[in-house]
């Protein structure tokens, strides 16, 4: 079947017919998807948007009156825009940033493991707090990749959480075990990046 | 070169060496990327996170004291979590949602074109306002795909914006002309989605 793209007298009518078919399909899909429950979401891949998408969900959750917990596993010494912003709402957002980055900045594996474990201890507290409707474990996948954290322990703790709590886990190279237990997994693919065109990381975009 | 994954006495030392090499590469890249300027970012693909990533950047920008403009080209009659949340900050966020969705819900192409054009008129006003550091044109790619808007006109207007203004354009099926002029393009790829496992769209996650 070909689909003419040049405007012609039948365009509006064909558009209507196509949209009617589409509406029927979408309605049927929505009808069959009625389950509720806390989701595990993973954002991985080499592209931009893994963390910012998680923080967009934080905004969305706050808009619905939910409370949110955030643990950032890798950010550097300077507070990011999202930290500066969400710290405005201490009653609604429990925000923990590890403070100093690890991996290529520290070159001290034992310290990195200790820091990641301390961050996970906080994450576990949040996973036991049913007043928190959404948790973000930002860049945790890096800690899993370098085995600073044990993926089976992380998964076991995730499965103990309150039934309606959502958890978003971000970072490149999500381990297959985590992808297996997640409900929604998105791979952010890099098609182009301003950095490769000589632009430094900019406030509001990457920072 | 093979990379042993089982813990052994040399692990910490090899980790240190690998991280030192990585730091040198990252430092050199940062050194060479010093340009500043307003970016055009595109979020496309079939996966989750195109809009939420844009709203995470809104939070990030607000954390740095920037002002933000948002035009939502497709959202339905009910306000989303991000709209409910960002409308709390009328001095910092200029938020416009088209109000009623189009395409499969309306089945009236002429009306859809008129609504998309009206939304673009607002977008153009924001593109002329240098007090706005970040703009989000959410789901505009759908309007471009159905030719409710002319991509060449949109690109011409984008190129007229203030030099430090960033613009994020989201939605499936971004046209190649837009990808060509963008600095950063991310394709959100669907690996798994809770919807296909019977979960309905949930507040804080999709809504």
Interface test with B, best of A184, A200, A207 (most B CBs within 10 A): A184
Nearest to B184 among A43, A50, A194 (CB): A194
Task: Report the DSSP pairing between strands B67-72 and B93-97.
Answer: parallel
Residue B93 inside a domain? The answer is yes
More confident residue, A71 or A11: A71
> What is the SS3 assignment for B134?
strand
Beta-carbon contacts of residue B176 (< 8 Å; ≥ 6 apart): none
**Residue B103 near residue B142 (C-beta atoms within 8 A):** yes
Residue B3 confidence (pLDDT): 45
Question: Chains A, B: CB contacts under 8 A, how many?
Answer: 288
Find the DSSP H helices in B33-79.
50-63
Residues in chain A closer than 8 A to B39 (CB atoms):
194, 199, 202, 205
Q: How many domains does chain B have?
A: 1
Task: Report the DSSP pairing between strands A67-72 and A132-138.
Answer: parallel
DSSP state of B194: G
Using a CB–CB cutoff of 8 Å, tell me whether B34 touches chain A: yes
Residue A127 inside a domain? The answer is yes
Give the nearest chain B residue to A59 (CA atoms). Answer: B82
φ, ψ of residue B174 to 5 degrees: the values are: -55, 135
Q: Which domain holds residue B147?
A: 38-197
Residue A33 confidence (pLDDT): 67
Cα pseudo-dihedral B55, B59, B60, B63, rounded to 10: 170
Residue A7 inside a domain? The answer is no
φ, ψ of residue A60 to 5 degrees: the values are: -60, -45
Residue A35 confidence (pLDDT): 77
pLDDT in tens, A110-143: 888 888 999 999 999 999 999 999 999 999 999 9
More confident residue, B142 or A3: B142
Residue A182 inside a domain? The answer is yes
The low-confidence residues of chain B, meaning pLDDT below 50, are 1-5
Give the separation between CA A134 and CA B116, rounded to whole angstroms: 33
- State the CATH number of the domain containing residue A149: 3.40.50.300
Give the separation between CA A45 and CA A50, rounded to whole angstroms: 8
Residue B176 inside a domain? The answer is yes
Give the separation between CA A97 and CA A76, rounded to whole angstroms: 9
- B103 and A19 within 8 Å at the Cβ level: the answer is yes
pLDDT in tens, A151-200: 999 999 999 999 999 999 999 999 999 999 999 999 999 998 888 888 88
ipTM for the complex? 0.82
Residue A6 inside a domain? The answer is no
Tokens representing A24 are 């029927």
Angle of the A50-63 helix axis to the B50-63 helix axis, nearest 10: 80
More confident residue, B5 or A109: A109
Residue B9 inside a domain? The answer is no
Give A87 to chain B, closest Cα distance, Å: 9
> What is the SS3 assignment for B21?
helix
Burial class (CB in 10 A: 0-12, 13-18, 19+), A76: middle
Residue with token string 């619905």: A64
Mean pLDDT value across chain A = 87
Q: How confident is the model at residue A203 (pLDDT cuts 50, 70, 90)?
A: confident
Residue B49 confidence (pLDDT): 93
pLDDT in tens, A47-94: 999 999 999 999 999 999 999 999 999 866 677 899 999 999 999 999
Residue B21 inside a domain? The answer is no
Residue A106 confidence (pLDDT): 57
pLDDT over 90 percentage in chain A: 60
Q: Give chain A as a DSSP string.
A: -----S--TTHHHHHHHHHHHHHHHHHHHHHH--B----EEEEESSSS-HHHHHHHHHHHHHHTT-EEEEEESS--SSPPHHHHHHTT-TTTEEEEE-SS--GGGT--HHHHHHHHHHHHHHHHHHHT-TTEEEEEEETHHHHHHTTSS-HHHHHHHHHTS-TT-EEEEE-SS--HHHHHH-SEEEEEEEEE-GGGGTBPP-TTTT-
> How far is the CA of B45 from the CAs of A52, B100, B166, in angstroms?
16, 23, 21
Tokens representing A33 are 């998807």
């Amino acid at each position: 079947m070909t689909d003419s793209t040049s405007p012609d007298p039948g365009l509006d009518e064909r558009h209507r017919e196509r949209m009617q078919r589409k509406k029927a399909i979408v309605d049927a899909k929505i009808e069959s998807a009625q389950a509720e429950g806390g989701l595990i979401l993973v954002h991985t891949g080499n592209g931009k948007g893994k963390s910012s998408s998680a923080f967009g969900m934080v905004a969305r959750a706050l808009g619905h009156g939910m409370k949110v917990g955030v643990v950032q596993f890798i950010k550097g010494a300077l507070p990011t825009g999202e930290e500066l912003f969400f710290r405005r709402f201490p009653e609604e957002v429990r925000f923990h940033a590890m403070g100093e980055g690890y991996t290529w900045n520290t070159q001290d594996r034992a310290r990195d493991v200790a820091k990641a474990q301390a961050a996970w201890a906080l994450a576990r507290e949040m996973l036991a707090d049913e007043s928190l409707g959404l948790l973000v474990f930002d860049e945790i996948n890096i800690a899993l990749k370098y085995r600073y954290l044990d993926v089976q322990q992380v998964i076991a703790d995730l499965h103990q959480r309150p039934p309606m709590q959502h958890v978003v886990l971000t970072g490149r190279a999500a381990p297959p075990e985590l992808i297996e237990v997640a409900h929604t997994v998105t791979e952010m693919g890099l098609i182009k990046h301003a950095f490769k065109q000589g632009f430094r990381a900019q406030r509001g975009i990457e920072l």
